Structure 1
């Protein structure tokens, strides 16, 4: 969701009807379907995502994800042909990430790049294109890179408590490859670079004040990240489900609130 709001902040004139429809397509259909399909393939018995005790998936879940994907693509043509193509690419990529016959998630680098490219750069472009009044087809490169890196600087932390379970399932995540301590170092570096690109995106749009407002909203995330990193550095048992979810919730609230605040400011200028 933060990538959605981030993309909207970079538009001067927004087609609000399209923006609302895009929000529904992504957050009500595409993302839940992708998570559902991933759960169907993984059949997790231990904590995953926001669930401490996930139920075992059924065949009905699979059929539901297919129906949601078909509906998402059909609705996407209301926006534009290019947006529909983008949604289709996202769906195919997310399926290849989870599907047992391919399972891109088992490869640490390829899986990582797949996630940050789809959830970051591709989503940023789709929202930017579909929500613009003139349906811009140009590539806002800096924004797309910034969005990908924002995802990339956080995603490994969502894997940090699943090392044992993933390994038993034949999956080597980027977090497992790095180990507990290096996962935090890696995320800190990627997030720092992400903020450089976010800064460039905002400064090039003369949104200097907005960038500093964004930085203020991000401070609680930085504080919790450093506090958690120190605890894990001393005792790796703190790289658990509870702390991961706390980090996830805090980052989601602060990042969404930051971009929504900036978006509202832009509408009144």
Structure 2
């Protein structure tokens, strides 16, 4: 029914890179209901994120490498409709888990559309797009997961159990987000999208991201001490060691030969290493949190 190229632009495997937020939300729960846990995972990673990917690809019409696709095929109206079908499925499944979760999925989807739609196109505003992506893919998604998983403690002001870990996810995303744009300067310039990485330049992007990633590490350490999990600090630092090593080597190589090393493949390897490290760490955290329950 839909073209093969349209399915490819959904970039379903790319959801793996956004999965750490889900696992971290799961790790903060005292009780896990398997049905809700599976449903939230399915809604986000199989339908909502792919819908956003496809929708953005349709309006971006990239001719060079993008996240998850080294050689993207030409898009057609077919992709636009497929992305909307996936969004409607995400909304339908979300409604099964409750109206609050449904509205949060709807808001996330609409904001992701505003990111690339030509009438709004948040992507062309460097700091607005950076803050939007950091907040909605981080803190907002964390709260959305907690709501869908059924352990929400919504009140105002938000309890520490909600705003503290949610803020941590946004800090990490604010640090990594510019790195996902670093190899797209030429194409972004051609479209008139002044992304944050384009504004910062090559060295500025690496320096900017390193500061935020360092802040993220310090913030995570503080959070684990605050929640009486000092052991988690050392496990977290161990998990982050491959990320720090790769980032340092990449920065060194990019300075020496930017044409060769500021590339899609190098950026994707950064994503793969950091996502794998965080997924493994947060899954371990889930296991530890459940094992501690008598």
Shorter-chain TM range is: over 0.9
1:265–1:137: structure 2 CA closer, same or farther, 3 Å change rule?
A: same
Alignment partner, residue 242 of structure 1: 265
2:193 pairs, out of 162, 171, 177, with 171
Q: Distance in 1 between matches of 2:286 and 2:224?
A: 12
Q: Per-residue displacement from partner, 1:127-156 (whole Å, max 9, x unpaired)? A: 1222244x3324311111111111111111
Q: Quote how far apart the aligned CAs of 1:73 are.
A: 1.4
Q: Quote how far apart the aligned CAs of 1:222 are.
A: 0.4
- Paired residues, number: 268
1:50 pairs, out of 65, 68, 82, with 68
Structure 2 unaligned segments of length 5 or more: list them: 1-18
Q: Distance in 2 between matches of 1:88 and 1:122?
A: 12
Q: Quote how far apart the aligned CAs of 1:58 are.
A: 1.8
2:153 pairs, out of 127, 136, 141, with 136
Q: Per-residue displacement from partner, 1:103-129 (whole Å, max 9, x unpaired)? A: 000010001111111100100111122
Residues 125, 194 of structure 2: 8 Å contact kept? yes
Residues 146, 195 of structure 1: 8 Å contact kept? no
Residue 85 (str. 1) matches residue 103 (str. 2): yes
Q: Distance in 2 between matches of 1:3 and 1:81?
A: 21
Residue range with higher mean Cα deviation, 198-207 or 249-258? 198-207
Q: Quote how far apart the aligned CAs of 1:259 are.
A: 0.7
Question: Normalised by the size of structure 2, how large is the TM-score?
Answer: 0.88
Residues 107, 171 of structure 1: 8 Å contact kept? yes
Q: Distance in 1 between matches of 2:55 and 2:176?
A: 22
Residue 76 (str. 1) matches residue 98 (str. 2): no
Q: Quote how far apart the aligned CAs of 1:211 are.
A: 2.7
Residues 116, 148 of structure 1: 8 Å contact kept? yes
Residues 145, 197 of structure 1: 8 Å contact kept? no
Question: Normalised by the size of structure 1, how large is the TM-score?
Answer: 0.96
Alignment partner, residue 218 of structure 1: 240
Q: Distance in 2 between matches of 1:130 and 1:212?
A: 30
Q: Distance in 2 between matches of 1:62 and 1:125?
A: 28
Q: Quote how far apart the aligned CAs of 1:46 are.
A: 0.6
Residue 204 (str. 1) matches residue 204 (str. 2): no
Residue range with higher mean Cα deviation, 196-205 or 14-23? 196-205
Alignment partner, residue 16 of structure 1: 34
Structure 1 unaligned segments of length 5 or more: list them: none
Q: Distance in 1 between matches of 2:35 and 2:153?
A: 16
Residue 125 (str. 1) matches residue 143 (str. 2): yes
Alignment partner, residue 55 of structure 2: 37
Residue range with higher mean Cα deviation, 136-145 or 53-62? 136-145
Cα RMSD after superposing both structures:
1.3
Residue 251 (str. 1) matches residue 269 (str. 2): no
1:155 pairs, out of 172, 177, 182, with 177
